[in-house]
Amino acid sequence: MLSRRRIDWAIYAAFIVLIMVFPLIMDSFWLNRLAKYLVFGMLGIAVALSWGYAGILNLGQGLFFGAGAYMLAMSLKLASTTSLQQGSDKPVPDFMLWNAEPGAKTELCCINKASFLWLPFQSQWFGVAMGLILPVLIAFVLGSIVFRKRISGVFVSIITLALVLLVRLIMIDAQPVTNGFNGLTDLGWFKLGGFEFDPYVVPSYYLIAISLSVVLVLARLLVETRAGVILQAIRDDQNRARYLGFDVPAYQTFFFAVSALIAGFAGMLYVIVSEFASPTFMDLSFSITMVVWAAVGGRASILGACIGAILINMISATVSETEGFAEAWKAIIGLVFVLVVLYLPRGIAGLAHDLIDRFVARRTPDRTPALRVNGASSQLAE
């Protein structure tokens, strides 16, 4: 007999198989573009965990994505040829030389007042570690403060929105250290076991596809655990959960940090396939766009939010490059979002779940409760 859970996992498996076969039918250019869309799908998963399951509408998700991106980009910048040609035995980012004061020593330790912060990033794996640790640390500290004080609803959205804008301004103002508006470009390739991941080769695509598959499955398993069920109960009624003895702030902070971890990981993967990191990752519009992805796909569905992010980006790219729609593609995407909110409030995933429920109901035999009498006792049995 078919069950809803088995069908769900079959759909997950079909999606994973689908993204794994794309290299067989696409050229390198489209594989690179699709790899970026898969990274955005990972961001959709992060938003679904935070908003759909924890009930925390984070309008600053770009902060975690940008933090992960910049941490790895700093290491890859030091590994690039441009950083090895600045007249020093050790790598120095080219933009630091452009912004240096006359007569400044061409050394990473002292070319400007804060350049020493780059020293540990000469190791690629330090950048990878920081790309995972920093977003989690920021989310843990922020969550511990906000949720312990029982701040919820729109106020959490305002706080996260203000924080991402603040960090963006700091990144731009720190021109000598971060290259300001220009971001980090001319990056080296990510290396793993002596293999260099050229952004346009099949192994780079599979690095993204496998990472997305693992995150997708782990996120689904996480929400099915006891902690995930409790989190959804907290989302629906925090006061009742507190009355039952659950540590509400601890659960909220944990899942908020997990969402940040996924976003930071996505940021690192995006740097690998795009070869740049930019303050635009922390734009308010980008963070709000992530919410749109999740809403269209279905914020209460891990896979739905993932597919929503991929589809919206594919549609956006196609429409924006179509003659006659180049100027109106944002309006078209906005119209799609409005129609989904009005007629599919649970997103594409909600429609799919309804269809699956109908299918399962038709395949399940009708069982009418019958009264069984045995001596002086009776009971209902199916």
Query: Which pLDDT tens digit goes with each residue over 254-267?
Result: 999 999 999 999 99
Q: Look at 30-34, 233-237, 375-379 and tell me which has the smallest mean pLDDT.
A: 375-379
Decide the pairing of beta strands 195-197 and 190-192. Answer: antiparallel
Which residues touch 110 (CB under 8 Å, ≥6 apart)?
A: 104, 116
* pLDDT value at 3 more than 80: no
pLDDT category, 87, cuts 50, 70, 90?
Answer: low
* pLDDT value at 382 more than 70: no
pLDDT category, 371, cuts 50, 70, 90?
Answer: very low
Residue 59 and residue 47: Cα distance in Å, rounded? 10
Q: Look at 89-98, 164-173, 345-354, 356-365 and tell me which has the smallest mean pLDDT.
A: 356-365
Q: Tell me which of 218 and 111 has the higher pLDDT.
A: 218
CA 360 to chain centroid, in Å, comes to: 32
Condensed to tens digits (0 to 9), the pLDDT of residues 143-166 reads 999 999 999 889 999 999 999 999
* pLDDT value at 24 more than 50: yes
**Mean pLDDT value of segment 220-233:** 94
Q: Pull the structure tokens for residue 45.
A: 């998963």
* pLDDT value at 366 more than 50: yes
Amino acid at site 354: D
Percent of the chain at pLDDT > 70 equals 93
Tracing tokens 């220009």 back to the chain, one arrives at 182
In the prediction, which pLDDT does 88 show?
65
Condensed to tens digits (0 to 9), the pLDDT of residues 201-212 reads 999 999 999 999
Residue 216 and residue 211: Cα distance in Å, rounded? 8
Q: Which of 262, 356, 360 is nearest to 305 (CA)?
A: 262
Residue 351 and residue 47: Cα distance in Å, rounded? 19
CB 53, CB 235: distance < 8 Å: yes
Model-level pTM?
A: 0.91
Half-sphere exposure of 327 (CA within 13 A, CB side): 1
Residue 167 and residue 216: Cα distance in Å, rounded? 29
In the prediction, which pLDDT does 124 show?
94
* pLDDT value at 381 more than 90: no
Q: Tell me which of 88 and 41 has the higher pLDDT.
A: 41
Condensed to tens digits (0 to 9), the pLDDT of residues 262-293 reads 999 999 999 999 999 999 999 988 998 999 99
Condensed to tens digits (0 to 9), the pLDDT of residues 287-338 reads 989 999 999 999 889 999 999 999 999 988 888 777 767 667 777 777 877 8
Angle, nearest 10°, between helix axes 248-274 and 28-47?
170
CB 218, CB 261: distance < 8 Å: no
Percent of the chain at pLDDT > 90 equals 64
**Mean pLDDT value of segment 211-240:** 94
The mean of the pLDDT values for the chain is 88
Burial pattern 19-56, b for ≥16 Cβ within 10 A else e, equals: beebbeeeeeeebbebbbbbbbbbbbbbbbbbbbbbbb
HEC profile of 184-198: ECCCCCEEECCEEEC
